[in-house]
Each structure stands twice: as C-alpha cells, then as structure tokens.
Amino acid sequence: MATDKNNLIVYCEYEDGKVADVSLELLTKGRQLADKLGIKLEAVVAGSDLKDVEKQILPYGVDTVYKFDDKRLSPYTSLPHSSILINLFKEKQPRIAFMGATSIGRDLGPRVSSALHSGLTADCTQLEIGDHKDARTGEEYKDLLLQIRPAFGGNIVATIVNPECRPQMATVREGVMKKEVRDSNYSGEVINLKTEDYTKPEDFVVEVIDRNVEKSKVNLKGAPIVVCGGYGMGSKENFDMLYELADVLGGEVGASRAAVDAGWADHDRQIGQTGVTVRPKLYIACGISGQIQHIAGMQESSIIISVNNDPNAPINDIADYVITGNVEDVVPKLIKYYKKNTK
C-alpha cells in the first residue's frame, strides 16, 4: 500500500516555463521503478512563475507534485535548493531520489547526499531494482536500486547499491533514459509548500550577477546522422574533414572524449557517458577505439559504421560495417562517392 513516505521522488528542473527533458526522462524511468516497487512517484519543482507546471509533470504518471514557487529560487543557486530537498527528504523519507546529471543536479545532489549521509551515484546509464547480498556480512537486501555506470574512465561497468542509507540517490544525463507520457489525464495531487518553511534566510547569500544564456549550436541529439571522430583522427586538420562528411550527409559532428581532450572539438560535441547520448539512424565512428564510456552514448544507433586502421578495435564488435583503413584515406572517398551517387 502506497503511503506518503518511502516513495520515489524526482527533482524537476524548470526554466522559462519548461520542465527540462532530463527531468521528464527521469519521471518516465521513475514511474517504471515505482510500479515495480508498488510505491508512489513524486516530483518536486522549485523555481519562480511555476504557474500550472503540474500539467507538464502529471502525465508522466506522477502521484504527487511538491511545488515551491518563489522569486528567490530562480535562477538556481545551490543553497536554497539544497535546503528544500534536505528538509523535504527528512520529512518524506523517500526511498529513491533522482536528479539530472546536469550542472544543476551535479551541484545539488552531492550537497543533499552529504547532509543526509545517503549514497549518491553519478551519471548512471541504467537503473534497475534487484536484490543484493553483502559479501562480507552475508546480509541480504531486497529490492534495492541497482545503479549501473561505467567507471574508471569507462573501462569497466560498476553496479552500485546503497544498502542502508536512504534515499538511494542517482543522477542520470539527459538523453540516456527515454521520455514517455504515461497518461495525459493522469491524476495526481499538487501540494504547494512555502519556501521559508524549508530554507533559512542565509541560504540566499550567493547572488547571480549576470546570465548569458547561449543556445548550443550543436544539435547532436536530434541529428539523424552522426559522424564522430576519435583520437585516431590523429590531428585537428584530419578531424576537420569530418565536418565536410557530416555536411554532405546532412548530419552533425560528434567527438570522443579523447578527441575533446586533445582540443580537436568542443565539449558540447562529446558523445559518451560524460557527454551526450545519441540514437541516430546512422553513426559513423572514425578513428574511435570504443571505450565503454563512449559506447554507452551511441550503442543504440540504428546502423554503425566503424572506420579504423586497427581491425581489432573494440568498437568493431558493435558495428554493422567495418572499414579497416586510414581515416584520412577513407573519409574523402566516402564524400566523393556520396556526391557522385546523389547527383
């Protein structure tokens, strides 16, 4: 029987009248897990001019929305949002709490976990419910949140659990989970809470002086074709060839972490666990070896072509087509034959 306590709660980011996609994705995953556990799905949203924000949230199968509508809560600053969650969580004792692995969620989550001494796992790529037996004490735990994430630079995948402490907290990047409305008429309760009951005046000491919001010019998530370059591109000049290939194919250029670290591409082009997750129709991996942290961000692409001079590159294992050769040799040919055959 679901009660007001021990539920699954999602912190929803809200700006300019819109709930962030990552929050809606987490609500979708949260609904599935709450069903499995037989508990309620709850959402908390803190900001200003929230109006009827619940209309955006409830359709995801949310049973309760906690609203904090206060001018001082927007734009986001760490302390008041942390205090709200810390005090709300003390009161509602959620079993599980999710937030986006964004610059907000990754600022807020650790602060909340530190105050509540609850475990937090960052950048999860899968979330499941399962049992756990402590190898040392032999103690068994039922229905824990299994938090799965690549670790160690993406060379291994770890399953993390929080056996004793609550809430079990996790952050997930945008695009990793799928967003799906449960029922556009789903009925849930809306509870308006007072910011001053959950925060202290001294929480408002950090001032946002200036905000310069720039829309990212790169739209990797929506691109039907992604041409992605890795460290094997060898140089910035070689990497720049990929823009031409992406351009003729009508796609977007992505980069592996190694290529971003090498300075060949900006951070907003990074694909992988610590970057963007993409699911394009066609993914062309050029000079990418295929670390798990990268594969986590592209493995659901419909068709994967790998161009690599190492015939044993790990990415070849998940590719549909493998071209063994030098990228600087293959990429111009792909451009040439595409142009020739589409005239």
Partner 1 sequence: MSYNIIVLAKQVPDTRNVGKDAMKADGTINRAALPAIFNPEDLNALEQALKLKEMYPGTKVTILTMGPARAAEIVREGLYRGADGGIVLSDRAFAGSDTLATSYALSAAVRKIGNFDLVIGGRQAIDGDTAQVGPQIAEKLGIPQVTYAEDIIEVKDGKALIKRRIESGVETVKAPLPLVVTVNGSADACRPRNARNVQKYKYAAVPSEAAADEKVKALIEKRPYLEIGEWNAQTVDADLAQCGLPGSPTKVKQIENVVFTAKDARRVENTDAELEKLIQELIANHTIG
270-329 positions binding partner 1, by CB under 8 A: 273-274, 281-282, 291-292, 295, 299, 302-306, 316-325, 329
Contacts of partner 1 in 224-243 (CB under 8 A)? 225
The CA angle 122-126-128, to the nearest 5 degrees, is 110
Q: Which of 79, 181, 190, 218 binds partner 1 (CB under 8 A)?
A: 79
Measured CA to CA, the distance from residue 205 to residue 340 in angstroms comes to 62
Nearer to partner 1, 115 or 181 (CB): 115
Total residues binding partner 1 (CB under 8 A):
95
270 phi, psi to nearest 5 deg = -70, 130
Minimum CB–partner distance for residue 183 and partner 1 (Å): 30
What is the closest distance, in whole angstroms, from the C-beta atom of residue 302 to partner 1 in the complex?
8
Cα separation, 261 vs 275, whole angstroms = 12
What φ, ψ does residue 168 adopt, rounded to 5°?
-85, 115
Listed in sequence order, the residues at least 6 apart from 265 whose beta carbon sits closer than 8 Å to its beta carbon are: 229, 239, 253, 254, 255, 259
> Rule CB under 8 A: which of 186-225 touch partner 1?
205-214, 216, 225
Q: Per rule CB under 8 A, is residue 257 in the interface with partner 1?
A: yes
Tell me the window of 34-42, 117-125, 184-192, 234-242 that interacts with partner 1 (CB under 8 A): 117-125
Q: Which residues pair with 16 in a beta bridge?
A: none
What is the footprint of partner 1 within residues 139-168 (CB under 8 A)?
146-147, 150-165
**What's the closest the beta carbon of residue 190 comes to partner 1, in angstroms?**
27
Based on CB atoms, which residue is closest to partner 1, 187 or 202?
202
- Report residue 73: phi and psi, to 5°: -90, 0
Sign of CA dihedral 108, 274, 75, 202: positive
Q: Least CB distance from residue 158 to partner 1, whole Å?
A: 5
Asked if residue 59 has a cis previous peptide bond (ω within 30° of 0), the answer is no
Which residue, 1 or 208, is less far from partner 1 as judged by CB? 208
The partner residues of 46 in beta bridges, in order of sequence, read 68
Residue 19 in tokens: 């709930």
Shortest Å distance, C-beta 116 to partner 1: 9
Binders of partner 1 in range 19-78 (CB under 8 A): 75, 77-78
Rounded to a whole number of angstroms, the minimum distance from the CB of residue 66 to partner 1 is 21
Q: CB of 1: closest distance to partner 1 in angstroms? A: 27
| Segment interacting with partner 1 (CB under 8 A) among 44-52, 119-127, 178-186, 187-195 | 119-127
Please report which helix (H) or strand (E) contains residue 228, including its range. strand 225-229
Edge-first strand order for the sheet with 120-121 is: 120-121, 168-172, 96-100, 8-12, 41-47, 64-69, 189-192
Closest CB to partner 1 among residues 63, 174: 174
Q: Which DSSP helix (H) or strand (E) runs through 294?
A: helix 292-295
Residue 97 vs 122, nearer CB to partner 1: 122
Shortest distance (Å) from residue 277 CB to partner 1: 14
